Structure 1
Amino acid sequence: MLPAPFRLFFVAVPLLVSAGALAMAAFPRKMTSWQTRSPDGSTQTIEPSDTRILMMRVMGVVVAALALLMVFANFAFIP
Structure 2
Amino acid sequence: MCRSIRTLFNLEPPATSDEVAAAALQYVRKLSGSTRPSQANQEAFDKAVAAVAAASQELLDSLVTTAPPRDREVEAAKAKARAAERFGNG
Structure 1 or 2, whichever has the larger Rg, is: 1
Q: TM-score w.r.t. structure 1 length? A: 0.38
Structure with bigger strand share is 1
Structure with bigger helix share is 1
Q: TM-score w.r.t. structure 2 length? A: 0.34
Higher relative contact order (CA 8 A, sep 6+): 1
